[in-house]
């Protein structure tokens, strides 16, 4: 059931002993949302804990290094930034059908919870929470909560770069910064600029092996097991690498081919906007969004590449 801001506010005011579930492979928005809600509930004298099936990355220590004792029986189960219970990992079985309140911004939210506060126009769940806490519930948030919420908004918008950034996103960032004098630039540097040595090595290698097709409109990178072994990098360093082929001037479609097993490949396809890669990937048995889709193909790498480039050529009507 979709509920309003004030209904969500009332629910929070009346709950206690809450487990706050966030999604697997936790990112800045679900971590920021989860710990902001944890802090706000604590300030209201309530017990809560943030629960995730995966560990939090070290770069989020400034958010996650707080008291977070999970050793109690929850009376309340809340999910933040979780569009589908599948994303709860090992907690799906335990809590998937027990979520009393979900707060989210994903248009793809499958409405699994008893109550869902959904604002699909919001750039981030942290943007929804900012409005809920300050406008609806009239809470004066702490510097720590402000930092949590800023982190979620900044990370989900690529630091106000992507098209999910609205006038309201900037207005909220402005309000947060006006009321809380904190080192936002330092957070942004940690979130956007700093890379592990392994990640840098991987990016360098990917640029070196990038192939150009169709007059440079299409780029292809192949990440084989051999390549990963030779670089000594692990799968953490591959996070988000599907976006790398799009950074070249003139490219419209970027294809990343990852070797899963011998002669078996997982493909990520990204579009800068004009080409619908969802259609192209659907024709190959996959699917996704217009700008970000994927599929799986078996065969020799050279044949897989040919199939993909030919499919894109057709999709671009070249």
Which residues of this protein are in contact with a second copy, per CB under 8 A?
A: 158-163, 165-171, 173-178, 183-186, 188-189, 192-197, 200-201, 203-205, 207-208, 210, 212, 216, 246-249, 272-273
The owner of tokens 């084989």 is: 224
Q: If residue 21 lies in a helix (H) or strand (E), which one and from where to where? A: strand 18-21
* 294, β-bridge pairs: 268, 287
How near is the Cβ of 143 to a second copy at its closest, in Å?
A: 14
What does the alpha-carbon distance between residue 109 and residue 212 come to, in Å, rounded to a whole number? 37
User: Concatenated DSSP letters for 261-309?
Assistant: ETTEEEEEEEESSSS-HHHHHHHTT-EE-SSEEEEEEES-HHHHHHHHH
**C-beta closer to a second copy: residue 195 or 300:** 195
Write a three-state SS string for 121-140: CCCCHHHHHHHHHHHHCCCC
How near is the Cβ of 42 to a second copy at its closest, in Å?
A: 27
Backbone angles phi, psi at 187, to 5 degrees: -60, -45
**C-beta closer to a second copy: residue 76 or 268:** 268
How near is the Cβ of 302 to a second copy at its closest, in Å?
A: 23
User: Concatenated DSSP letters for 149-161?
Assistant: HHHHHHHHTTTTT
> Beta strand pairing status for 253-261 and 264-271?
antiparallel
* 296, β-bridge pairs: 266
Structure token digits, residue 175: 């309000």
**C-beta closer to a second copy: residue 10 or 166:** 166
**C-beta closer to a second copy: residue 144 or 212:** 212
How near is the Cβ of 275 to a second copy at its closest, in Å?
A: 15
How near is the Cβ of 115 to a second copy at its closest, in Å?
A: 30
How near is the Cβ of 20 to a second copy at its closest, in Å?
A: 28
**C-beta closer to a second copy: residue 18 or 238:** 238
How near is the Cβ of 274 to a second copy at its closest, in Å?
A: 11
**C-beta closer to a second copy: residue 159 or 227:** 159
**C-beta closer to a second copy: residue 26 or 254:** 254
Closest by Cα among 135, 126, 74 to 103: 126
């Amino acid at each position: 059931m979709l509920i309003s801001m004030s209904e969500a506010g009332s629910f929070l005011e009346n709950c206690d002993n809450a487990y706050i579930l966030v999604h697997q492979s936790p990112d800045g928005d679900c971590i920021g949302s989860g710990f902001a809600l944890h802090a706000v509930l604590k300030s209201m004298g309530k017990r809560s804990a943030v629960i995730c099936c995966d560990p939090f990355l070290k770069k989020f220590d400034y958010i996650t290094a707080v008291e977070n004792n999970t050793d109690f029986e929850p009376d309340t189960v809340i999910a933040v930034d979780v569009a589908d219970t599948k994303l709860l990992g090992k907690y799906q079985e335990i809590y998937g059908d027990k979520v009393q309140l979900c707060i989210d911004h994903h248009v793809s939210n499958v409405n699994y919870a008893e109550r869902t506060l959904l604002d699909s126009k919001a750039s981030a769940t942290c943007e929804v929470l900012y409005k809920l806490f300050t406008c609806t519930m009239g809470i004066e948030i702490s510097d720590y909560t402000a930092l949590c919420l800023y982190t979620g908004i900044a990370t989900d918008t690529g630091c106000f770069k992507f098209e999910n950034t609205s006038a309201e996103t900037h207005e909220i960032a402005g309000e947060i910064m006006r009321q809380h004098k904190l080192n936002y630039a330092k957070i942004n540097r940690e979130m956007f600029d700093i890379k592990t040595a392994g990640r840098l090595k991987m990016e360098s290698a990917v640029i070196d092996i990038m192939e150009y097709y169709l007059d440079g409109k299409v780029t292809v990178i192949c990440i084989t097991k051999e390549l990963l072994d030779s670089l000594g990098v692990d799968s953490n360093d591959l996070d988000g690498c599907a976006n790398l082929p799009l950074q070249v001037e003139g490219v419209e479609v970027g294809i990343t081919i990852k070797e899963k097993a011998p002669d078996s490949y997982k493909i990520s396809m990204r579009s800068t906007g004009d080409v619908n890669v969802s259609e192209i990937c659907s024709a190959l048995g996959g699917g996704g969004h217009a700008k970000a889709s994927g599929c799986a193909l078996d065969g020799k790498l050279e044949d897989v590449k040919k199939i993909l480039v030919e499919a894109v050529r057709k999709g671009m009507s070249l």
